[in-house]
């Protein structure tokens, strides 16, 4: 069987999902912000939420980024095991990022970590951050999750002793409290528990992609505790510090308990495209 997805298909799809992620929030995120506006008792916080909703509306209508920090590009790519690609997939995604930087447009955010020299096109060694996985079928799924620095800088990871499970809640609350208004709340909190040092952080970032309106009892309890901190919208007080909390877990070593907290601002941006692998039977 021969795959029919082309290099050009992936470049165009990458540009399109970056544009979508930067200019249009998904329904569940908007619904969570609208609900926060309805229940918020603080007039100051309510005014901030109203401004956020207006910002979202204008970005969508004018097809412009909803935030000046358009982030670095993080991708989650799922490849069907029956799919055959005869081109450089990673190269196509990177080229798509370069095109999107000019066309959307995006702020050039990719710099060398030590020299701080800017590449000018949001690419460089290790960027965009592309994560691969495999699934059944012949589809190619590409999800982009632009990540701004204001929220990323407030994230944290701790290697707990396996006997310290009861301290996870305290660590999450401590991380959010330390962040305060810096990550532009109301935030979304992604938590990774288990795996290894780096796996926990990846789980936490993936947790931000989960449906905002679908939380289990543990996540809802954490959300309640976080909102009880009183940080509120944009750090100005009120009842909504976080919109959602999501947890992803992985088995870990018997002697370790990694826990990562990845904070996202109210603009929980992500978009996905699925390219169908059309086949010929030879």
For residue 2, the model assigns a pLDDT of 45
Question: Which residues constitute the domain of residue 185?
Answer: 149-264
What is the C-alpha separation between 140 and 131, in angstroms, rounded? 13
Per DSSP bridges, beta strands 257-264 and 187-194 are antiparallel
Say yes or no: 235 and 118 in one domain: no
CATH of the domain at 105: 3.30.1330
Mean pLDDT on 139-150: 98
- Angle between helix 217-227 and 168-179 (nearest 10): 40
pLDDT digits (tens, 9 = 90+) for 12-39: 999 999 999 999 999 999 999 999 999 9
Residue length of the chain: 282
In a domain, 193, yes or no: yes
Say yes or no: 174 and 105 in one domain: no
Instruction: Report whether pLDDT(103) > 90.
Output: yes
Say yes or no: 178 and 126 in one domain: no
User: What is the total count of domains within the chain?
Assistant: 2
Instruction: Report whether pLDDT(167) > 80.
Output: yes
Say yes or no: 137 and 120 in one domain: yes
What's the predicted TM-score (pTM) here? 0.95
- Closest listed residue to residue 273, CA positions, set 3, 10, 57: 10
Average per-residue pLDDT for the chain: 96
Say yes or no: 208 and 230 in one domain: yes
Question: In 3-state terms, what secondary structure has residue 109?
Answer: coil
For residue 278, the model assigns a pLDDT of 65
Say yes or no: 13 and 135 in one domain: yes
| Residue 162 per-residue DSSP state | G
In a domain, 48, yes or no: no
Share of the chain above pLDDT 90, in %: 96
In a domain, 282, yes or no: no
Report angle CA 44, 45, 49 to the nearest 5 degrees. 120
Mean pLDDT on 89-95: 98
pLDDT band at 229 (very low <50, low <70, confident <90, very high): very high
Instruction: Report whether pLDDT(280) > 60.
Output: no
Q: Return the structure tokens found at 80.
A: 């069907």
Q: Which residue has the higher pLDDT, 216 or 281?
A: 216
What is the C-alpha separation between 78 and 135, in angstroms, rounded? 7
Instruction: Report whether pLDDT(107) > 50.
Output: yes
> CB count, 10 Å around CB of 144?
30
For residue 42, the model assigns a pLDDT of 96
Mean pLDDT on 103-130: 98
Share of the chain above pLDDT 70, in %: 97
Question: Under a CB-based contact definition with an 8 Å cutoff, are residues 265 and 184 in contact?
Answer: yes
What is the C-alpha separation between 251 and 159, in angstroms, rounded? 14
pLDDT digits (tens, 9 = 90+) for 41-89: 999 999 999 999 999 999 999 999 999 999 999 999 999 999 999 999 9
Please give the C-alpha separations between residue 87 and each of 208, 219, 263, in angstroms, as whole numbers.
30, 42, 35
Q: Return the structure tokens found at 139.
A: 């589809």
For residue 279, the model assigns a pLDDT of 47
């Amino acid at each position: 069987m021969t795959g029919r997805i082309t290099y050009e298909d992936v470049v165009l799809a990458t540009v399109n999902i970056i544009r979508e992620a930067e200019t249009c929030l998904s329904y569940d995120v908007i619904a969570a912000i609208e609900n926060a506006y309805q229940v918020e008792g603080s007039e100051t916080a309510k005014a901030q939420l109203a401004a956020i909703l207006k910002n979202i509306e204008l970005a969508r209508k004018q097809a412009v980024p909803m935030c000046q920090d358009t982030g670095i590009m993080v991708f989650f790519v799922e490849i069907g095991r029956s799919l055959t690609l005869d081109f450089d997939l990673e190269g196509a995604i990177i080229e798509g990022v370069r095109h999107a930087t000019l066309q959307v447009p995006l702020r050039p955010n990719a710099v060398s970590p030590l020299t701080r020299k800017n590449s000018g096109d949001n690419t460089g060694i290790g960027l965009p951050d592309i994560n691969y996985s495999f699934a059944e079928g012949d589809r190619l799924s590409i999800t982009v999750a632009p990540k701004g620095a204001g929220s990323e800088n407030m994230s944290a990871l701790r290697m707990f002793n396996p006997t310290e499970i009861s301290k996870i809640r305290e660590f999450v609350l401590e991380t959010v409290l330390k962040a305060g208004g810096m990550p532009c709340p109301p935030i979304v909190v992604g938590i990774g528990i288990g795996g290894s040092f780096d796996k926990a952080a990846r789980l936490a970032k993936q947790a931000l992609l989960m449906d905002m309106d679908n939380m289990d009892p543990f996540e809802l309890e954490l959300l309640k505790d976080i909102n009880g901190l009183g940080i509120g919208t944009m750090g100005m007080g009120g009842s909504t510090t976080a919109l959602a909390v999501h947890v992803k877990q992985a088995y870990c070593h018997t002697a370790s308990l990694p826990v990562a907290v990845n904070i996202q601002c109210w603009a929980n941006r992500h978009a996905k495209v699925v390219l169908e692998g059309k086949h010929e039977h030879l």
